[in-house]
């Protein structure tokens, strides 16, 4: 398997999942900051020009964070990254969708890529402020759902690694998360799989 990631991007959550599973994989760095995701070589793999992208050994390409995460968890059931009951699994998918479909784009992308959403340069400060306010309110929702020590209580799941990339972004966005989220972030940083993924991405 090969993971295309950009350092510190949402692909970090998938990188952590791969490290948790422990199956062999190659981490292929591209940078969305320097526009490598727009180059023809990468567009041939993922025409959406986004990370993460997972390429399986037989060449199958999987895009979109929740789909990649679900594939990895379902194809490696012994890693136990999904609740076992159907409604638990659906709850987990719901958290992944909320984080990647709402919190990420509406809260954080608006702050980190304000120019894309602003009418002109003068409008960027408003876009950033709106993104920050939205992110703070989404974090309250996530904190209220956190059952601790992991998102769903005793079992560590895909929801935890997705929440982790958001927690990493709070510093860059100068957001102080609710205490339950900061505590969860500290627990994540203590996990060897998280430390391995961070070491690779910062090398």
- Residues of the shown chain interacting with ligand GSH in the complex, contacts defined by CB under 6 A: 6, 9-10, 32, 37, 49-52, 64-65, 100
CA distance 134 to 169: 14
Q: Taking the complex as a whole, how short is the minimal distance between the CB of residue 125 and ligand GSH, in angstroms?
A: 21
> Could you tell me the smallest distance in angstroms from the CB atom of residue 54 to ligand GSH?
10
Q: Which of 169, 191, 203, 201 has the alpha carbon at shortest distance from 22?
A: 191
| Lookup: tokens for 137 | 């309110």
Question: What are φ and ψ of residue 152, in 5° steps?
Answer: -100, 20
Least distance in angstroms from the C-beta of 122 to ligand GSH: 23
How far apart (Å, rounded) are the C-alpha atoms in residues 135 and 132? Answer: 5
Return the number of the residue (15 or 50) whose C-beta is nearest ligand GSH: 50
Q: Which two tokens stand for residue 191?
A: 């996990």
Taking the least distance from each CB to ligand GSH, the nearer of 39 and 147 is 39
Task: Give whichever of 34 and 148 is closer to ligand GSH, judged by the CB atom.
Answer: 34
Match 């972004």 to its residue by tokens: 169
Q: Between 41 and 84, name the residue whose CB sits nearer to ligand GSH.
A: 41
DSSP code at position 174: T
Least distance in angstroms from the C-beta of 47 to ligand GSH? 12
């Amino acid at each position: 398997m090969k993971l295309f990631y950009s350092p510190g991007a949402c692909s970090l959550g998938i990188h952590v999942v791969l490290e948790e599973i422990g199956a062999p994989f190659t981490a292929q760095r591209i940078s969305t900051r320097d526009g490598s995701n727009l180059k023809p070589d990468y567009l041939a793999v993922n025409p959406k020009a986004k990370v993460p992208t997972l390429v399986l050994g037989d060449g199958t390409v999987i895009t979109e964070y929740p789909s990649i995460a679900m594939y990895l968890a379902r194809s490696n059931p012994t890693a136990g990254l999904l609740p076992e009951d159907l409604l638990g699994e659906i709850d987990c998918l719901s958290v992944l969708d909320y984080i990647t479909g709402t919190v990420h784009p509406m809260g954080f992308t608006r702050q980190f890529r304000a120019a894309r959403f602003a009418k002109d340069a003068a409008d960027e400060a408003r876009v950033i402020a709106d993104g920050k306010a939205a992110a703070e309110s989404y974090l309250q929702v996530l904190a209220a759902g956190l059952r601790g020590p992991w998102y769903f209580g005793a079992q560590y799941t895909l929801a935890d690694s997705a929440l982790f990339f958001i927690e990493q972004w709070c510093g860059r966005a100068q957001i102080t998360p609710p205490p339950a989220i900061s505590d969860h972030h500290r627990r994540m940083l203590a996990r060897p799989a998280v430390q391995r993924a961070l070491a690779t991405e910062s090398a």
